[in-house]
Structure 1
Amino acid sequence: MTTPLPRRRSLTASVIGLATVSLTASLAVLAPATPAFADANAVPTYEVKIDLTTAALDASHAPTSAVKAAFGITGSAKARAYEYYDTAALDLNAQGWDVRLRHKSGSDFEESYKKRFPVTNGDIEAALDEANAEGFDSSDTNYDAEVDWGYSKQTLSFSNEKSHSGSGYSGASMPSSSTGRNWLVNEIPGKLDDWLGSNWGSDTLAASSVHGPVASQVWSGAWEASDDAGIEVLPVKAASGTGTEYIVELSFKTDDFGDASELHADAISVADAHGWLYHGDILKTQLILDRY
């Protein structure tokens, strides 16, 4: 007796069904996995940083009245000094960490431990994913996330900020390098300390030397969507080793990406129209680490 056709079709369907399941499973293995994190990505604030040329300065190396008026700078100059601690080989910096001690005139010392993540082609979310994979996420309230937005470069950073009493220090004066180093080693956060192994951070900091100090003047104000605008004028050693170069940085802080984008475009447009714009990014931290 011949096997009925319906039964044959049923067997064929079963084989096809098994093949479909197998193919689906294979595709599931091959498909790129969406990153799964225990906590959501951090939400960054933004700081737009645009460098100006010395054409923006007067004979006393202060911003000209035209520059101040153009960017809403109304405050008087305030002094600050700061320095970075790293080894001669810049071991901390090589791992994306920068450790800074800063003193604003009349204030306590600010100890800053900052981890940087590059932003490629403006993809801030990808940088936040990378940071999340390293343990920097929305649950870690010890670190503040910020995107530094320069002329053409963006960097995501996570900063752990601590303070040390400025009692006994006048103006923006700095402690001896050994004193500053001890403060920073004693206050080191856990993520940095154990970055490449137990006590790696504190051991590296203990072997560090001071890069700096440098002293700057800062003028503040408000412009467009930012009520935290500023111009910093920083004299640094020239690359040749002799003489002084003046770094002029215009900055604006905001919590909103859209506002940051508009501030970035408008600041560049205004500065360029007046012949003040430096067409590039000057990385102050790297410059100080390299020259001091």
Structure 2
Amino acid sequence: MDVFRQSGKLQENKVPDYEVRLGLEPAEVLTPSIELKADVLSTLNLQPIPIQINVGFLDTPTKELSRADWSVRARRVHGEDTLELTYKRRYGIKNGNIDYALTHASTHGFNNELTGDGREFKAQVEWGYEKKTLSMTSKKKLDGFVVDDLEFPPPDNLRNLSSKEAPDMFKNWIIKGWGTHALERSIVYGPTVVDRYSGSWEGKQLDLEVWPFVNSSNSKTDYIVEVSFKTNNRASASSKQKKLMDELKSKGWLVDEDVSKTEAILEVYGF
């Protein structure tokens, strides 16, 4: 796509928000009954009762979307009557150069120009232990689902809905109809029911999520535990990420590497 307007001026990059995400050691923060330990609840000012969220990803058996740095997620939240579909394109950030990644994404059409179908993509920098990733995300909520039921529609229906509601940027990413064709051949990776605890830290709303992954080969359940908060300020993201890391490390809770929930669910449920 042409990065220039007809006036010859560069199109404006999107302005991202920032989400700091850090992994916690499951054995250190969870009880044998897979509840949060009291010290974790008090340190992060977390509510003791989590909200349950059913999460699944759609991709082809060969993970064609993932290999193109796209993900398509379906989500149901307990207490809500909606199905949320999320279409996300990720860009790796090299050497911490966030602005370069934003400019690169702009050349693909992720900028402040209106899209042809009116679908907005929001920019976010996912700020992990060491790795930073730029994501461009478009969400669509569909109403009319049972409030206290976390179930997804049958796979064929979910494929049809995700294809019908997809933004044009995704549908026509490589060639016309690329995304549509991929979703028509997709399978559902998962789903898995996530526990989300809400809390606060340093004046920021903070979430802690517990993701279970059931290995079908040995029926063993593994867990990813992640704590996250959002900010609109890059300097704040940098300073508070370090401060939270130091606090979690002092408690012996911090996982000293980056963890990807999306990659994990595609790997564990890929068969």
Say whether the fold is shared (TM-score over 0.5).
Answer: yes
Aligned AA for 2:128? G
Query: What are structure 1's unaligned runs of at least 5 residues?
Result: 1-35
Instruction: Quote the Cα distance in structure 1 between the aligned partners of 2:70 and 2:33.
Output: 35
Find 1:234's aligned residue among 189, 203, 211.
211
Alignment of 1:243 with 2:208, yes or no, is no
Find 1:279's aligned residue among 256, 266, 271.
256
Q: For residue 197 of structure 1, what is the aligned residue in structure 2?
A: 175
Are the equivalent residues in 2 in contact too, given 1:116–1:157 (CA < 8 A)? yes
Q: Secondary structure at the match of 1:247?
A: strand
Q: For residue 23 of structure 1, what is the aligned residue in structure 2?
A: none
Kindly tell me: are residues 239 and 266 of structure 1, through their superposed partners in 2, closer, same or farther at Cα, counting changes over 3 Å? farther
Q: For residue 182 of structure 1, what is the aligned residue in structure 2?
A: 160
Q: Offset of 1:115 from its aligned partner? A: 0.5
Alignment of 1:258 with 2:235, yes or no, is yes
Q: Secondary structure at the match of 1:266?
A: helix
Find 2:73's aligned residue among 100, 103, 108.
100
TM-score by structure 1 length?
A: 0.83
Instruction: Quote the Cα distance in structure 1 between the aligned partners of 2:91 and 2:219.
Output: 33
Q: Secondary structure at the match of 1:287?
A: helix
| Deviation per residue, 1:121-169 (Å, 9 max, x gap) | 1110111011011110123470010011111111100000001124236
Q: Secondary structure at the match of 2:109?
A: coil
Q: For residue 289 of structure 1, what is the aligned residue in structure 2?
A: 266
**Which has the greater radius of gyration?**
1
Aligned AA for 2:164? N
Are the equivalent residues in 2 in contact too, given 1:37–1:132 (CA < 8 A)? no
Find 1:110's aligned residue among 84, 92, 102.
84
Alignment of 1:41-120 (within 5 A): 41-54=13-26, 55-74=28-47, 76-107=49-80, 108-120=82-94
Are the equivalent residues in 2 in contact too, given 1:235–1:246 (CA < 8 A)? yes
Q: For residue 105 of structure 2, what is the aligned residue in structure 1?
A: 131
Are the equivalent residues in 2 in contact too, given 1:48–1:251 (CA < 8 A)? yes
Alignment of 1:145 with 2:123, yes or no, is yes
Q: CA RMSD in A?
A: 1.7
Instruction: Quote the Cα distance in structure 1 between the aligned partners of 2:203 and 2:239.
Output: 8
Q: What is the count of residue pairs matched by the alignment? A: 256
Larger relative helix fraction = 1
Q: Offset of 1:242 from its aligned partner? A: 3.6
Are the equivalent residues in 1 in contact too, given 2:73–2:86 (CA < 8 A)? yes
Q: For residue 40 of structure 1, what is the aligned residue in structure 2?
A: 12
Q: Offset of 1:262 from its aligned partner? A: 2.1
Q: For residue 3 of structure 2, what is the aligned residue in structure 1?
A: none
Aligned AA for 1:138? N
Aligned AA for 2:106? N
Q: Offset of 1:74 from its aligned partner? A: 2.9
Aligned AA for 1:188? A
Are the equivalent residues in 2 in contact too, given 1:225–1:254 (CA < 8 A)? no
Q: Secondary structure at the match of 2:95?
A: coil
Are the equivalent residues in 2 in contact too, given 1:225–1:263 (CA < 8 A)? no
Alignment of 1:151-230 (within 5 A): 151-168=129-146, 170-227=148-205, 229-230=206-207
